[in-house]
Structure 1
Amino acid sequence: MAALRHSLSALFEPRSLLVVSSLPLPVVENTPPCLQGRLTQASINEQGISIAAQLSGLRDGQRLDMALVCVAPHRLPEALDAIKKYQARVVLILAADKSSHDPIEDMVYARSWARFNQCLVVGPRAFGMLRPHLGINLSHEPQSVAAGRVALLGQSRSITSAIMDWAEDIRLGFSTIITLGDEAQLDVADVLDFLATDPRTDSVALYLEHTPPSRRFTSALYALAAVKPTVVLKVGGARNPDEAQEAVFNALMRRVGAVRIRYFVQLFSALKVLVYTRKLKGRRIALFSNGDGAAQLALEVLGPDSAVHCPQLSESTQGLLQQALVPGDQSANPVVSYAPLSPERIEQICSTLLDDTQIDGVLVLLAPDPLAPMAAVAAELAKISSRSRKPIITCLLGDADMRPLRHLLDSVGTPAFRTPDTAANAFDILAIHHYNQQLAQQTLPSLPLSRRPDIGPARELVALAQSERRGLTQQEGMLLLAYFNVPLVALLHNEVLPAAQFDIMPMGLRIDTDKKLGPYVVFGAAGHQGWLPESYRAVDLPPLNRYLARQLIERSPIWRKFLSKQLSAAVFTQLQTVIERLSELVCEVPAVRSLSIDPLYATDEGLYFGELTLGLSAQSMLVLPETVGYGHMAIHPYPRHMVQRRQFKDGQRWVLRPVRPEDAEALQAFMRGLSDESRYMRFVSMLRELTPKMLARYTRIDFDRELALVATVRVGGSGRDEIIGFAHYLRNVDGRGAEYALVIGDEWQRRGLGTELMNALIDEAGLQGLTYIDGYVLASNKPMQALMERLGFQNDVDQEDPAMRRVWLDLGETRRSD
């Protein structure tokens, strides 16, 4: 099957290049091998710009891949006009040596030119782009960087230059470096999409000075962080007076599975630890140090708000440690040895800690010791790390003598740091990444389909208030909560709580709307205390399910200090339900811009609130949120509007709906139940079940850019859904189309089910802006080909594999019904 070229390949892997520059550029002076005979340099002077009639390496009628432009801002229109006839796929506009009088005007001009000439524009005022493994340096930097597996995407030319210089000192290599400048057209989300599929990139560092527009950025970052560790350094947190805005951004990073760091010095530590092959599976770590000072410095970093903690070691572990330690050493956590270490002792101590089932990782802190063979100790530690199933992070304090030992440990895949605080912080980052990845897998709300809210009446209630240019009354607000089955009871006219139980700390729930990231939920203490800066750790973005609601509560200071000891299990569950359903309310009724339930009281009987206030947007809801992809939110919720109850001609009822994470077990059972023939026709192999990675990929869907549908029937009176058909599409790397797949259970074929599933897929693909949908079908699979042809698909022979057919549909064409 022919491989598709990514829409940004012309930028990152250009096959032809035109340089229009008034300054000398490294790519001209040191042309990389991949561009030898494919690079043309324009002649530029005060009289004009002269370009050879035939560009090097370009055949007649062939489009130019890239033009690299670096001219004074007042000559930018002249340069773009000169290259117009070559129909460049990408134009990269570097920063020039002269400042622009109006950068905004330059950006608007570049954007308009790009749209008119059907071209992608990077810049103006871009740093440029480097692909070290290809030797490509499309920037002003005289020296390139070492090739590696880390991609750097930034919004600052100066910071990018500093990172490149620093990386050389610590021997960090890059797959890609790019800074986009003014982002006239190409933006951060576009590049993230490319990096997610780039085989040269294993991890990504993202430097942000402003938050990109929410939905595309969120969707692209979610797709990237799901497959490659992603570190985001965003400035403004320490000096931004808007604590809520920072908290909302942090919540977004948690939900997409990325790690947000605040300080420049943390960037390389984060990259170093996140590419480590052993992932942290919990929060419990053990510390070992050859002296107490380093351990105490590490403990200063691992405070009560740290993502990891140091639990007490079991008696059996301490007993085994004492056999390796000498009198006066400390066998508790942290474990401290004051006697000189030997390779044998370090092996015994580390192995004992790693064998403890209550320990998830080990932090080893070693200071120089003239009485110990430190090189041999480090070599033994490298052996231990290479075979360990749990992460080991090391700190070798010092510089001249300890630096080569750190390099040794780095080379075997265990991160080695220079100071105790950076090593401890690295473990914290590893734990945050694990936690955020868990949250990212919970994107979809997991609600029983039978518990539907009354969305129609709720929207009518809000629309009436908007038409009358007023807010909701308290009574209307209570009715709105009732429409969404929010299990709260109002306390009216100073009503006394049942049993007068005032000993549980009053709580507060608030929903507000961020200008870029949409609605967000805050949980904290009642009154003004609930909105103090420390409370903004308990912030999350809808949609929320039960798991996410619980995590929101447990991140709050009020939970740690009071509620964890006061709330009964039943009321705790009720509180999670309240948050979950309020989340659904703001998903389905975007006109609700703010909501406050404060105070919120908990008793043994349940939850009661004293005051409810709601704020509505001034703009009427002219279109339903589900028809515009829930554009008011950063994260696309479960598309409940696509859930449809249908029946076959014989009266058998079935349900068509988008897949949910909890469908994983049923989908696996469906796969196992397929006949060998059906399985081969779908997967072109005898695959008997889905791998865990495939199962997660098919059931955890980002509905902003892809879709997976299941057809289900109810099994007897068990209430369990059995999957009888499955269809999905995943976007192709070109960004324009998607590849579909369809499989129907053997007993349910020839009943029109395939037509129903494919029509639903095609309709949604059009709404998501795809221009085509295609799939590869075995030439022997005549029934599938016949179905697709009835739906209006083209049927082409695959030129690279005659045994396959490419069956595709131009989404602009009119389809025939079955």
Structure 2
Amino acid sequence: MLRHALDPLFQPRSLMVVTDQALPVMQSLPASLRNKTTLIEPAPGSLASIPARLEGLTAGERLDLALICMPPLNLAHTLDQLEGAPPRALVILAHEAIDPDPESTRTFCAKWARAHGCALLGPFAFGLQRPNRGLNLSQHRLLAKPGRVALIAQSRSIMAGVLDWADDVHIGFSTAVALGDELDTRISEVLDYLATDSSTDSVAIYLEKVSNGREFMSALRSAASVKPVVVLRSGSLDTDPREEEAFDAALRRAGAVRVKYFVQLFSALKVFMYRSRPKGRRVAVFSNGEGPAQLALDMAFSGGPIVRASLSDASRNRLNKFLAPGSLICNPVVTHQPLNAMLVNDVLSVLLQDDGVDGVVASFAPDSRSDFPGVVAELARFAPVANKPVLTCMMGDAGMRPLRRTLDNAGTSAFRTPESTANAFGILASHHYNQQLLLQIQPAEPDHALPDVRVARERLRLALQTQGGRLDRAQAWALLADFHVPLAPIAPDQAPVSVTEYPCAIRVGTDPLFGPVVRFGAGGMMGRIAIDQDGVDLAPLNHFLAKRLVQRSQIWQQMLCTMVSGAALTRLLLALELISDLVSECPEIESITIDPVVIRGAMIFVADLDVVLRDGLCQAVPAASGYEHMAIHPYPRRWVEKLSLKNDVEAVIRPIRPDDALALQQFVRDLSDQARYMRFVSMMRELTPKMLARYTQLDYHREFALVATIVESDTSGVEAQKIIGLSHYLLNPDGQGAEYALVVADDWQGQGLGKRLMSRLTEAAREQGLSYIEGLVLSNNRPMLTLMTRSMGMRNDPDPDDPTGMRRVWMTFNPEPVPETR
């Protein structure tokens, strides 16, 4: 099996340690590395001498990882000693000696690593830990407890603080890595690695800066599609508010969750251990006192992390039967009677069965009359298997801390304060909300008329040549007409805005990291003052995303939601969707301001329209160049085509979509055992949930997948799309080539479907600028080998890792460079 490019860093098979001081790595060295570790300990201040043969390595075998902690002035000599046998990965820890020229040290180490094809962490690194493997490659004296959460930090001090805190509260990690300067190993690469790491269930990130918005978003979306991701970002006070809103919008669209405060990162680490995810923010609070309950519900303010749930009459009647007289039963549910396991079970069961409740916060203060050990034992049994989240707060320390620890160890972590418990629930709810946004994609065949992109871009090119950076009014309206945007100018004889109307505005700007940002909010002077009340999202949008964008704005929540007709809302959402298409297909546009916008009946009128352009981006067609001006690659609908098969069956070949998950699962189930084994080299009968997400929630910046579908009717006559073929490629770590896969349903083979799917796949790879495409095929899969070699003209070589069982079937798109055989 091919190793991930970062495997030598995170799962080294051989190790060399060069240090003039004691390091924690030698105190907890995993058994698998003990016979393949070389320790070199020069005297303080002296130069290291690297032996020609390393412990446990055979002649010609490359060292996986070198861990170096030497004075900065000795680093160049130490790395020179590795010239003849450079490692695959390198961690250079910070040394107590002062570096007189740290920038030169950074430059030298980065150049050395790139020259030797070596993943680099450092210099001046805190290092990393892999607690599940017993590997401490950091300067933190204690190896963290094993767990299922990965922690990435762009700060060594934050990492040190979190590890120290986690040890005290018994939180474990699968991985903890501080990236520092990110000279070579970047956060996007680490996210890619953790997305497929079997020991990691969720990821927490402390972020200070993003250097490449597209790469960051691509990796974040990929990771968040299979594992919860939470992000804490510093420096918000020094950032332009619009850039902050763009960053928030980016995290929402990536399916990740942003927290604002350091303490919330701890809450996220704890709450992601919960298996249940709420489908909304409606919380019921159960407590043994009004004070703790009210503190939790104080978080249900406008825009807060939770919403106060309304209990049904049936729920209140059931609660009345076993709660003492005088108890509160309308949310919060508060009783002053002594608590025991049965009472807690009864109350929680009622609350969780209420359709108006998305989850429960159980907040308890110390009470000597209550059987808290029994209550906690019941919570430890009940909460992990509940169909909705049950978050517990055990207020206090002396008597309550051991009880919290019991719940922590049971996988249903408890919190110290009602507010932190409510905030933690908000993190879970935000995750569910953002995951719905992550799944959204433009329709393959939209209902509205397709835009005339060629005419629009020619219009913009001429405008830039003749009048600079701004369209006149006529040109601006003509541009909207090219994309069929359903807005109309206010006629001269009409009042721009009457006193009974609430003007709104649509604005599009360009964020330097994340590209086009679409905003909907109040218009006129109010809109220019209260920009933090706008709904904000990144292009591209579809109907669902446009609706959520409008609903997040304050003007909609407070005024328009009760005034706008369904027809007008549909028109508004279509306008937002098409405007996002406009800025996606026309990178020449710097900004669009449509303000004020007035909704009258079913129509939407505009008083002022302003389009500002930027030069230098008119040459490339965005669809062919990968939409480089955007952080999110739009759905590549231009690859949709129809194909006639035998018996007058018409198939559609198109890029895969998230909503293809069920059809793809059925496609895999329907394959014969032989076809399934030929494709997956295993006898698996269906895809796991993570594999389904991996195949259907694609970032078309880094991979490409086509499905062939036909329409079939079930026994009740309901039509549905059925997948009969799949082709896919994923970029290799070198960024120059990709690995492909192809499978066609047994009943549809021999009709040219496989050849067409593969031809379109190679066309996409060539257009993306790749140099080669390759795949591993079983040696006895004669039909596939024949298709690839005879029909596609690919080369057929033995796989070096399994020359008798597998074949490496590949082709280049340019004579140079030819990829090395792995």
- Relative to the length of structure 2, the TM-score reads 0.91
- Shift, 1:591, TM fit: 0.9
Q: C-alpha distance in 1, partners of 2:710/2:385?
A: 48
Does residue 398 of structure 2 align to residue 374 of structure 1?
A: no
> Which amino acid in structure 1 is aligned with residue 788 of structure 2?
M
Question: 8 Å contact 1:726–1:742 — kept in the other structure?
Answer: yes
Q: C-alpha distance in 2, partners of 1:185/1:399?
A: 44
Counterpart of 1:65?
64
Question: 8 Å contact 1:42–1:51 — kept in the other structure?
Answer: no
Which sits farther off after the overlay, 183-192 or 654-663? 654-663
Q: C-alpha distance in 1, partners of 2:581/2:486?
A: 14
Cα distance 1:501–1:711, how it changes in 2: closer, same or farther (>3 A)? farther
CA deviations 1:721-777 (Å, max 9, x no partner) are 765533223467898865533333566543433222112222334555767645455
Which sits farther off after the overlay, 485-494 or 762-771? 762-771
Residue 83 of structure 2: SS of its match in structure 1?
helix
Q: C-alpha distance in 2, partners of 1:711/1:585?
A: 29
Residue 360 of structure 2: SS of its match in structure 1?
strand
**Matches of residues 113-262 of structure 1 in structure 2 within 5 Å?**
113-237=112-236, 239-262=237-260
- Shift, 1:627, TM fit: 2.3
Q: C-alpha distance in 2, partners of 1:33/1:693?
A: 31
Q: C-alpha distance in 1, partners of 2:206/2:766?
A: 34
Counterpart of 2:537?
540
CA deviations 1:122-150 (Å, max 9, x no partner) are 22221111122333222222222222222
Question: 8 Å contact 1:247–1:536 — kept in the other structure?
Answer: no
- Shift, 1:244, TM fit: 0.8
Which sits farther off after the overlay, 721-730 or 263-272? 721-730
Q: C-alpha distance in 1, partners of 2:810/2:337?
A: 73
CA deviations 1:157-183 (Å, max 9, x no partner) are 111111111011101111111112221
Cα distance 1:345–1:450, how it changes in 2: closer, same or farther (>3 A)? closer
Counterpart of 1:709?
706
Q: C-alpha distance in 1, partners of 2:370/2:96?
A: 56
**Matches of residues 670-689 of structure 1 in structure 2 within 5 Å?**
682=679
Counterpart of 2:322?
324
Residue 301 of structure 1: SS of its match in structure 2?
coil
Q: C-alpha distance in 2, partners of 1:696/1:274?
A: 19
> Which amino acid in structure 1 is aligned with residue 85 of structure 2?
Y
> Which amino acid in structure 1 is aligned with residue 250 of structure 2?
L
Question: 8 Å contact 2:129–2:138 — kept in the other structure?
Answer: yes
**Matches of residues 333-732 of structure 1 in structure 2 within 5 Å?**
333-444=331-442, 448=446, 451-468=449-466, 469-493=468-492, 495-496=494-495, 503-532=500-529, 535=532, 538-644=535-641, 655-663=652-660, 682=679, 696-712=693-709, 724-730=724-730
Q: C-alpha distance in 2, partners of 1:803/1:80?
A: 39
Question: 8 Å contact 2:205–2:231 — kept in the other structure?
Answer: yes
Gaps of at least 5 residues in structure 2 are 817-822
Question: 8 Å contact 2:799–2:808 — kept in the other structure?
Answer: no
Cα distance 1:71–1:176, how it changes in 2: closer, same or farther (>3 A)? same
Q: C-alpha distance in 2, partners of 1:609/1:419?
A: 50
CA deviations 1:651-702 (Å, max 9, x no partner) are 9876533123444566567668777876676567898877766555443321
Which sits farther off after the overlay, 631-640 or 438-447? 438-447
Which sits farther off after the overlay, 98-107 or 666-675? 666-675
Counterpart of 2:793?
792
Which sits farther off after the overlay, 348-357 or 374-383? 374-383
Counterpart of 1:94?
93
Counterpart of 1:289?
287
CA deviations 1:476-510 (Å, max 9, x no partner) are 1111111111111112546347xx97634111111
- Shift, 1:101, TM fit: 4.0
> Which amino acid in structure 2 is aligned with residue 451 of structure 1?
A
> Which amino acid in structure 2 is aligned with residue 96 of structure 1?
H
Question: 8 Å contact 1:229–1:275 — kept in the other structure?
Answer: no
Does residue 758 of structure 2 align to residue 758 of structure 1?
A: yes
Identity %: 45
Gaps of at least 5 residues in structure 1 are none
Cα distance 1:250–1:658, how it changes in 2: closer, same or farther (>3 A)? same
Q: C-alpha distance in 1, partners of 2:630/2:646?
A: 39
- Shift, 1:34, TM fit: 3.2
Q: C-alpha distance in 1, partners of 2:183/2:678?
A: 46
> Which amino acid in structure 2 is aligned with residue 152 of structure 1?
L
> Which amino acid in structure 1 is aligned with residue 809 of structure 2?
W
Q: C-alpha distance in 2, partners of 1:124/1:651?
A: 64
- Relative to the length of structure 1, the TM-score reads 0.91
Question: 8 Å contact 1:445–1:637 — kept in the other structure?
Answer: no
Q: C-alpha distance in 1, partners of 2:19/2:803?
A: 48
Q: C-alpha distance in 1, partners of 2:52/2:686?
A: 58
Q: C-alpha distance in 2, partners of 1:675/1:64?
A: 43
CA deviations 1:625-655 (Å, max 9, x no partner) are 2222111111111123333456679998765
> Which amino acid in structure 1 is aligned with residue 134 of structure 2?
G
- Shift, 1:418, TM fit: 1.1
The alignment's C-alpha RMSD in Å is 3.1
**Matches of residues 271-286 of structure 1 in structure 2 within 5 Å?**
271-286=269-284
Cα distance 1:675–1:277, how it changes in 2: closer, same or farther (>3 A)? closer
